[in-house]
């Protein structure tokens, strides 16, 4: 409309695809596992589903229709529970996911139910909370029994290690053990998670900062190249980390066999044999430019966004060397330009980080 100021679309007019891409929230860059991490760390209910618009609008109706006709349809119960959990409706999600687990002992079902218990535990009393956290740990272990080295279960166990009252689950040392195990089986996501766990120990602050910096700046956006870079970064980071074994842990056998040199004793009971990660150094044929598709991989970008969020928490809570964290955020702005939503989030965090340090001139340059 010619009467619209600055060439803006009239109020109520639909946006073009280019405009929609510009104004997408940065959480659209995150995968389910990173969304669950963020939901637990932020404790703020909001709409977290990153699924396509069609899934948000139609899937719930489909799931509810299936459940009304077939009460024992575990697929529909899980699907509805997953959507509810990503939207922050923890209690409603728990009911559906518990029903799905009761119908089928699937590793994915049990892990999502464990996450629902973890996320719901913050709103109850201490005794019930402890019981819920122990139940969540038990379901994660059962998921690992069914699917060894299941990444989503390992990520849940990391949070449970910190959340369990009186650190009866091993606390920081056990969380670090799970984080290192995750980094071995899923290097890209594991690198950022390992950096976040290391931030909890002031003695490991430098190693944590390097892990997060590598995740944001060194790991490229292409999936295969990112896998190789992450493996190297994890190896370097793990070499600088001394894992202190928990002195008092839950009764029961170790989660993994001591015959596996890469495994470490952990807090929760049961045994799950792991498999070694695939050799990331094996050369693979490179696709032609026409077949490469998007210039960035969703899994890689999701990991980078969670690492960026971790750095912002470090800055806002004044943990350790915030100056280095701010510089890493500033450098990350240029590396995330290919994804508008991620880039906008990086610019926003960079501006707030500069304001925290009183660097107003640089902050205004970002605005310009």
pLDDT digits (tens, 9 = 90+) for 168-222: 556 788 899 999 999 999 999 999 999 999 988 888 888 988 999 999 999 999 9
What is the residue extent of each domain of the chain?
Answer: 20-26+55-139
pLDDT digits over 224-239, tens only?
999 999 999 999 887 7
pTM value is 0.75
What is the three-state SS of 275-296? CCCCCCCCCCCCCCHHHCCCCC
- Across the range 93-104, mean pLDDT stands at 96
* Radius of gyration of the chain from its Cα atoms, rounded to whole angstroms: 22
Percent share of the chain, pLDDT over 90: 37
What CATH class does 20-26+55-139 carry? mainly alpha
pLDDT digits over 135-172, tens only?
999 999 999 999 999 999 999 999 999 888 755 556 78
Of 340 and 169, more confident: 340
Alpha helices in the chain (DSSP H): 17-22, 32-42, 53-54, 60-69, 74-86, 90-103, 107-120, 126-146, 151-163, 171-185, 187-198, 205-213, 223-239, 298-316, 322-335, 340-356, 360-367
């Amino acid at each position: 409309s010619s009467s619209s100021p600055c060439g803006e679309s009239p109020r109520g007019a639909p946006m073009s695809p280019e405009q929609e891409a510009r104004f997408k929230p940065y959480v659209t860059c995150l995968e389910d596992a990173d969304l669950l991490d963020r939901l637990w760390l932020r404790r703020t209910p909001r709409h977290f589903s990153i699924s396509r618009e069609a899934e948000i609008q139609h899937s719930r109706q489909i799931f509810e229709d299936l459940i009304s006709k077939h009460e024992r349809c575990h697929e529909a119960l899980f699907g509805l529970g997953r959507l509810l959990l990503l939207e922050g409706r923890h209690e409603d999600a728990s009911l559906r996911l518990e029903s799905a687990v009761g119908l089928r002992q699937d590793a994915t079902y049990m892990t999502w139910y464990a996450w629902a218990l973890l996320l719901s535990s913050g709103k109850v009393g201490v005794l019930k909370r402890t019981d819920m956290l122990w139940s969540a740990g038990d379901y994660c272990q059962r998921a690992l029994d069914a699917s060894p080295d299941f990444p989503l279960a390992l990520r849940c166990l990391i949070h449970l290690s910190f959340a369990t009252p009186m650190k009866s689950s091993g606390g920081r040392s056990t969380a670090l053990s799970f984080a290192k195990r995750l980094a071995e089986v899923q290097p890209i996501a594991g690198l950022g998670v390992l950096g976040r766990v290391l931030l909890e120990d002031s003695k490991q602050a430098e190693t944590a900062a390097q892990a997060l910096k590598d995740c944001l700046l060194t790991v490229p956006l292409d999936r295969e190249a990112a896998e190789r870079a992450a493996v190297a970064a994890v190896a370097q980071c793990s070499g600088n980390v001394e894992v202190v074994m928990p002195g008092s842990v839950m009764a029961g056998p170790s989660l993994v066999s001591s015959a596996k040199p890469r495994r470490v004793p952990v807090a929760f009971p049961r045994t799950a044999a792991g498999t070694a990660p695939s050799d990331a150094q094996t050369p693979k044929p490179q696709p032609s430019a026409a077949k490469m598709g998007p210039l960035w991989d969703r899994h890689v970008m999701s990991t980078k966004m969670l690492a960026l969020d971790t750095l912002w928490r470090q800055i806002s809570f004044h943990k350790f060397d915030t100056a280095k964290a701010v510089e890493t955020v500033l450098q990350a702005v240029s590396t995330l330009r290919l994804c508008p939503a991620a880039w906008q989030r990086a610019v926003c965090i960079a501006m707030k980080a500069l304001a925290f340090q009183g660097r107003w001139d640089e902050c205004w340059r970002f605005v310009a």
